Amino acid sequence: MKHPGKGEMASRLGGQVFCTISSIVFVAPLLLMSLNSVKSNDEVLARPAGLPIAWTLINYLDVLNPSHPLALNFFNSIIIAAVSTVVLSVLCAGAAFSFAKLKFRGRSVLFIVLMATMMVPQEVTVPGLYLIFAKVGLINTLTGLILPTIAPVVGLFLIRQYMYTIPDEVIDAARVDGAPTFIIFARIVLPMAMPIVGAFAVLHFIYEWNDYLWPSLIATWSSVQPLMVALPTLVDPIIGAIPAYGTIMAGCVLSLLPLMAVFLFFRETIMSRPCGRI
């Protein structure tokens, strides 16, 4: 058995040191957030980087209180992210199937035009989109928060590229057996493309859960604000002007739970082996 040389051992050691340092860099903010969530608001202001002197769960009790305004904001975030993800999965998968496996006039031109829209920054489209939503009365509504998120072109592109790897012979065999196009999509192509659909759905859910720009502009009423917009607005109940950092940190910790649940539920779909050739 060949023993590793000094150069190879040094390379492995360097890789381990790099991974260790990277892990610390990524974990440190989460650890600091968790520690501050079990401090009082006054102690967070006095000692934001130290261990708690008096451990307390009062911040979590405040956030989990059904009468607390954050309970409604938490529910709003779940509705927005879940509805957007479900509708997006159906629309992007159906459009990707059309562009990947169906032939129609102008398919290439239309796809190029859609890809070109990916070059436009979101900040450029926000003013015009806001004016349109204001005229149709969708400001401060959950519908206004969900509609702009249900058809991202990047999802269409990724799922279309994956569907190209599905052999055409499978679809041709289904057509020979008399299967209509919708059945081919729903029972053959979509199940084979679930790894990419599931992966993008999880990424989109995380993005929508953490989104701040569009919700902060269109949702000015606290009753329709998602969690990430409402959290930074919490202030000390006594002083009033100082942010309630302990409560905010507790809300941030609790906001991670749905993301972890979604990832754990879909981990097998995300990590499953591709069906076709890349």
Does the pLDDT value for residue 78 go beyond 80?
yes
Looking at per-residue pLDDT, the higher value among 270 and 244 belongs to: 244
Contacts of 170 (CB under 8 A, 6+ apart): 188, 192
CB 252 within 8 A of CB 33: yes
pLDDT of 22 reads 85
pLDDT of 278 reads 36
Two tokens, residue 156: 């269409």
Q: Which CATH superfamily is domain 68-233 in?
A: MetI-like (1.10.3720.10)
Lowest mean pLDDT among 46-60, 120-134, 151-165: 46-60
Average pLDDT, the chain: 85
Task: Give the whole-number percent of the chain exceeding pLDDT 70.
Answer: 92
CB 28 within 8 A of CB 212: no
Does the pLDDT value for residue 85 go beyond 90?
yes
- Mean pLDDT, to the nearest integer, of 63-88? 88
User: Which of 13-22, 29-38, 78-87, 249-258: highest mean pLDDT?
Assistant: 78-87
pLDDT of 136 reads 92
**pLDDT tens figures, 218-268:** 998 988 999 889 888 887 766 667 788 888 888 888 888 888 888 788 777
pLDDT band at residue 157 using 50, 70 and 90 as cut-offs: very high
Domain boundaries, the chain: 68-233
pLDDT of 67 reads 78
Q: Evaluate if pTM is beyond 0.75.
A: yes
pLDDT of 159 reads 93
pLDDT band at residue 5 using 50, 70 and 90 as cut-offs: low
